[in-house]
Structure formats: structure tokens, C-alpha cells
Structure 1
Amino acid sequence: MNTRPIPTRTLGVVAYGANDLRITDIAVRDPAADEAVIKIAYGGVCGSDLHYWTHGAAGESVLREPMVLGHEVSGTVLVPAADGSGPRTGDPVTVHPATPGNDGRTHYPADRPNLSPAGTYLGSAARVPHCDGAFARLVTMPTRMLRLLPTNFDLRTAALIEPASVAWHAVSRAGDVRGKRALVIGAGPIGALIVAALRSAGAGEIIAVDLHQHALDVATKLGATRTLRADQADAIAEAQADVALESSGSHRGLASAIRGAARGGRIVMVGLLPSGDQPVPMSLAITRELELVGSFRFNDEIDEVIAALGAGRLDIDAVITHEFDVEETLTAFETARDASTSSKVLLRF
């Protein structure tokens, strides 16, 4: 049994409501036998974190109580699990933030637990009580959520593994992309990582589209062979892409993906659109026999991403544009909100 003393308090990033984000003292939860205490090194600011800060909600998930943010993290094991499961003291780890859950009545494929109806995700207000995230210097979490990293793996890069897994899953939903022309609508952090994943998967041509030149420059560094501004409607329509991946999360982006896809092509919808009906040219999707498929989070792709990074088959560091100490979280969030000058913003814990 582990007898190492566990700190009872730590510093965390907590959303209390719209425009009420606090860097404050929080409790370190006592670990169960199958839980470890992790010393967080880096955390990546996600769009959902920004929404909880600015709107007090991310889509349908509304803050009803204070919640620790963050699900893109890396760190080392401070106190291992008492039952002997999982990594040992000092081991470098990243985190799979999802816990699948079945409500007993909703049908979904057993091999796609990301679609389970009663699942939870770190830093999500989808359920009450909310599922606290991992933006804290010390975090207690089940060993089943931990992924051991190779020795001397860069923990800065490791903070990108979760969003890179989202991108990897999206590319897998596109099918075999080897030698094909791919169109990526939206070159923010997820879109840029999709570009990197497409490059790793052997795409022949990768066209990135965005409103901001800064995002297009990042996409180029990660493997885009050509870039277009989002207002170049004719050029986008002429792309004739075998696969189009929409990561802007806007109906205009989805419309561009439909127009830019070749007849018989596939469109992967990654960006989460607002609730309700969306005005997009579905007649084109019908007459061109386009395949529209959704892509939501990821499953075991996180293990494939770790392997690809370790083998040098995936290069994603260029998506990181800024780093801030946790005490500067508000500045970090302000920076991350400005897509014209930033891509992935990291917090140092």
C-alpha cells in the first residue's frame, strides 16, 4: 500500500459562470484504490473551455455549478494507484478524458463507445454534477484514463495528444486517403491537426481553407500543400476534393465542403454546428451522391497517435503558438480567443 502523503490542496482553473473564470485554490480528491495523483505539466486550451468562459455554456452543456476546466493535459505520476494498476511514480502520461456510459435504452454500436449516451468527459457540464476537468497542478484520476508515454517524451507535445486524437479519428472516418485530394475547411487547432493527420495517412494533396492567414500559415507548416481563403468561393468549389473535412463548426463551412467535394466524394463533419436546422445546399449533396458522415471525439485512436508521435510519423508541434503560466490563465484565454493571431495555446502548470 502506498504511504506517501498526498497534498490536500492545489491550484486550479475554475469556471463559475459566463465571464467568471478563477485561478483558485481547490481540493485534491482522495484517490480510490485504482486512482493515481497526477502532477500536471501542460494543458491545452480548447474551444469548449473558451465557451464555458465566455458564455457559461458549451452548446447544450450549461454551467450550473463551478467546474474545473480542461481535458487536454500531460504530466507525471506523483502518487501511483494503491492497487498496483497503471503507471508508476514519475512516469510520463497523457489522459483519455472519456468515460463511456450506457443508459440502458439507447442503441449504439458496441465498438464505438464515443457514441454512448450516458458517457462523461473531463471538463464537461453535460451532466449534473459536472465532470471536473484537469486544469490543476494536481489531479486525481482513474488509471484506466491514463496513457503511458515513452521515456523522455516531450510533455509539451503530449498536451496535444487529445486534440490530435480527435483529428486522427476524423481522418479515419474519411476512409483510405492515400494519394487522394483532401479539402480541410477551417484551419484552427483541430483543422491544423487534421492536416497533420492527413499527411501522416498519405494524402496526396491537402488544401486548407480559413478566414485567417495566420491559421493558413500554421496549416502549411503541418503539411498543407495549398491554402485558400474562406472567401475564395470559386476556388473552393473548383477543388473537386475526394474527401472534405469540415472543422469550422459553421454552416458556411459545411456549405463550402459540399461545394468543394468531388462527385461521389465524402464529407466528414467535425466542427460542432449550433443546435437547430442549418442552411446548407443539401440538393448538391443529393445530386452529387456525396457521403456526409459525422465525427465525434475519438475512441482508441489516442494509442495510435502516441505510437505515431513516438515513431516520428506524425509532426504536430507547429500548432502550438503560445504558452502561459497557469497564473496567466485569463491572458491565455484571451489569446486563444483571437484566431487571427493564435492556434493552440498551452498553460504551464
Structure 2
Amino acid sequence: MIHGRGDLRVEELPVPRPGPGEALVAVRYGGVCGSDLHYWRHGGVGDFLLKEPLLLGHEVVGTVVSYGSPDPSAPAAGTAVAVHPATPCGSCPECAAGRRHICRDTRYLGSAARFPHVQGGFATRIAVPAGQLRPLPEGLGLRRAALAEPLSVALHAVRRAGAVAGKHVLVTGSGPIGCLVVAAARAAGAARITVTDLLPAALEYARLAGADTVVRADDPADAGWPDAEHEVDVAVEASGAAAGLDTCLRLVRRGGVVVQLGMLPPGPTPFAGNLVVSREIELRGALRFDTEFDEALRLLAAGPAFDGLVSAVVPVAEAESAFALAADRGRSCKVLLDFGG
């Protein structure tokens, strides 16, 4: 539970009772996301500020315990599942247009975007709509399946870029999401992937994810930087820093595509907008995901190489140390909380 900036607590809560259409899930693993770290360090994410204590977590997997009402179409009790964290309203113009991921009235686990806040999944037992459960494909264990939510984010960002097969893709930022963008672009057939970051350790995780070239972002003399002869076709900004967006706009070819995936700081952000005009660059945003969640589970089932991106598994009793580790990108990539059997 997060009670305010820097105030993270492990608390005893009543076991929830699932209502009609809901399932009780025994959570095993929960991935610590950048947004969870923002709530911990800053008391909010962008414009979404804490107004009440919030149970964090939206990257969760576990086992079905029971249902609030019989549902023969849902996974049986005892089934290992991943939990899709979004519940779109189904009736707004965005939902009607098939873009449920930008639903204006969605409920998202562990989010302060609305009040009362939507409580999250970092608990030993959670009650969620049965429609949010996804049985794990054969051969996919819970530990690796905990990457499904962030991989879905990456898959959606690559999809927003359009066809990347045979193209040169640049990714700025090699945190967990940036590394998974590398994996998603590789799965989509990218011919070459270049990744930039300030931290050598983070770049090694990008290489593990499938990057062809890694570059120190603070070293323009690095031989790996794309140049006029080898401009990139697509750039995905995954750092959430204005400098990363600037790099993408300056290195993408004329008529290329830049996808802004990282959440920039709140308020105005200066950027090289003149290049968007003079080079007719397409600048696109990418928010969350929808059906990519099912695709992510299939990719994870087929890709044991993803295991290397999980850098630590920490018991939930040591949650604060897990958050500190996840915030130190020089020592970690994806950190999981372990809620026990």
C-alpha cells in the first residue's frame, strides 16, 4: 500500500470476497513497474496524484481460487492465469471505435487516475472481473508470465509504428519497457535494432533482449550511432525524457515514424517540432494495450530468452528494498515481488 510520497507499507487486509462475475485469485508474482515507482517516489504519476491509500500493482499472475458466481466459461479453480489489468467501459466513442486501450472511463489496476482509486494487484488475494483472466499457454510458468503486461505495452508501441519488418528501429531507453520493445520489434521482423541509454548495465539487458547495437546516449562519438548514411526508419522513445524524443526526431529518416511511449514529465515539453514539419515525420503516441496481452502470452511461452530480463525476485515482506532495487537501473531490469504459494 502506498500512503504518500515515500510512504510504502506492507499491511494486513481482509481477504476480498468476489462478487457476481468476479474471481478470487491467489497472486504469486507481481512486477514492479515504473508507474509504481512514481507513486512511491513522487506520490503520483504525471497528473494522477494520490488522494487516498492505494494498493499498487498491475503486472500480476497467480492461480484461480474461486468465483463469486458460477461461470463455466471462465478458467477453472486451480488454473494458472495472468490478469489483464484493464476494464474498459465498453460504451464510450473510443470503445465503440475498437480502441478500448484509450477508453475515457477505463478502470486500471493500481491507478489513481480516478477517484476513488482503482486498487491494484500487489496482494496475496485479489478479486477481479473474470473476463480479465487469461489462462497461461502450455509451457509458460508464472515467473516468466509476469512479463505479459509490460510486453503487451511494447507490442502495442511497435504496432503503432506500423510495419517494421526489414527496417532499422531505434529505441531510446533500455529500461524494462525499452528492452521489451527490442524483443517486440525483433518478433515483428525488424532487420536492425539500435538502443541508446546512459547506463552500460541497462544496455547489456537490451543486448540480451536482441539489440544489434547499443550506444551510450552521452557519447555522440560512439561508433554505433546512426548517421546520415544509416538513418533509422522507426524510432520508439521509451525513456520518458525530452532528450530521448529529441534524439528520435533527429535520427529518424525523412518521412519516418517516431512513437512516444515513455511518459514525459507533466507540463509543457520543448521538442524539435520544426523537424516534424521539415522532414514530415509522423509522431505517434502509444498508451497501454488491448488484445496484445494474448499475443504477449504466446510470445512468452515460446521465448525462454525472456527469463534473463527478470533480474530479481523479492519476497513481498521486503517490498521497500524491492522498490529501491527496481529504481536502480544500474543493478536491475525487471524486479518481481513474490507473494508465496
Given the two structures, how large is their TM-score scaled by the length of structure 2?
0.94
**Worse-superposed segment, 27-36 or 17-26:** 27-36
Which secondary structure state, in structure 2, belongs to the residue aligned with residue 27 of structure 1? coil
Residue 83 of structure 2 aligns with which residue? 95
Which whole-Å CA distance do the structure 2 matches of 1:148 and 1:47 have between them?
26
Which secondary structure state, in structure 2, belongs to the residue aligned with residue 68 of structure 1? coil
Residue 114 of structure 1 aligns with which residue? 101
2:34 alignment partner, one of 42, 47, 58:
47
Within-5 A mapping of 1:228-307: 228-233=215-220, 236=225, 238=227, 240-307=231-298
Which whole-Å CA distance do the structure 2 matches of 1:234 and 1:279 have between them?
25
Judged with a 3 Å threshold, the aligned counterparts in structure 2 of structure 1 residues 177 and 107 are, in CA distance, closer, same or farther, namely closer
CA contact (8 A) 1:74 1:159 kept: yes
CA contact (8 A) 2:313 2:335 kept: yes
Paired residues, number: 334
Which whole-Å CA distance do the structure 1 matches of 2:221 and 2:248 have between them?
12
Which secondary structure state, in structure 1, belongs to the residue aligned with residue 174 of structure 2? coil
1:332 maps to 2:319: no
Query: Structure 1 stretches of 5 or more lacking a match?
Result: 1-13
Query: Structure 2 stretches of 5 or more lacking a match?
Result: none
Which secondary structure state, in structure 1, belongs to the residue aligned with residue 13 of structure 2? strand
2:115 alignment partner, one of 104, 128, 142:
128
* 1:33-69 deviation per Cα after TM superposition (whole angstroms, max 9, x unaligned): 2111111110000011111111111111111111110
CA contact (8 A) 1:174 1:243 kept: yes
1:79 alignment partner, one of 54, 66, 77:
66
Judged with a 3 Å threshold, the aligned counterparts in structure 2 of structure 1 residues 259 and 233 are, in CA distance, closer, same or farther, namely farther
Which whole-Å CA distance do the structure 2 matches of 1:201 and 1:101 have between them?
30
Residue 4 of structure 1 aligns with which residue? none
Residue 172 of structure 1 aligns with which residue? 159
1:225 maps to 2:212: yes
Judged with a 3 Å threshold, the aligned counterparts in structure 2 of structure 1 residues 224 and 86 are, in CA distance, closer, same or farther, namely same
Which secondary structure state, in structure 1, belongs to the residue aligned with residue 12 of structure 2? strand
Which secondary structure state, in structure 2, belongs to the residue aligned with residue 257 of structure 1? helix
Which secondary structure state, in structure 2, belongs to the residue aligned with residue 262 of structure 1? strand
Deviation at 1:248, TM superposition (A): 0.4
Which whole-Å CA distance do the structure 2 matches of 1:94 and 1:107 have between them?
25
Which whole-Å CA distance do the structure 1 matches of 2:5 and 2:82 have between them?
29
Which secondary structure state, in structure 1, belongs to the residue aligned with residue 134 of structure 2? strand
What do you get for the CA RMSD once the two structures are aligned? Answer: 1.7
Which whole-Å CA distance do the structure 1 matches of 2:204 and 2:315 have between them?
26
* 1:47-103 deviation per Cα after TM superposition (whole angstroms, max 9, x unaligned): 111111111111111111111100001111112452224111110100110111378
* 1:153-203 deviation per Cα after TM superposition (whole angstroms, max 9, x unaligned): 210001110000000000111111111100000000000000011111111
Which secondary structure state, in structure 2, belongs to the residue aligned with residue 299 of structure 1? coil
1:322 maps to 2:312: yes
Residue 139 of structure 1 aligns with which residue? 126
CA contact (8 A) 1:91 1:148 kept: yes
Residue 6 of structure 1 aligns with which residue? none
CA contact (8 A) 2:226 2:232 kept: no
Which secondary structure state, in structure 2, belongs to the residue aligned with residue 24 of structure 1? coil
1:35 maps to 2:25: no
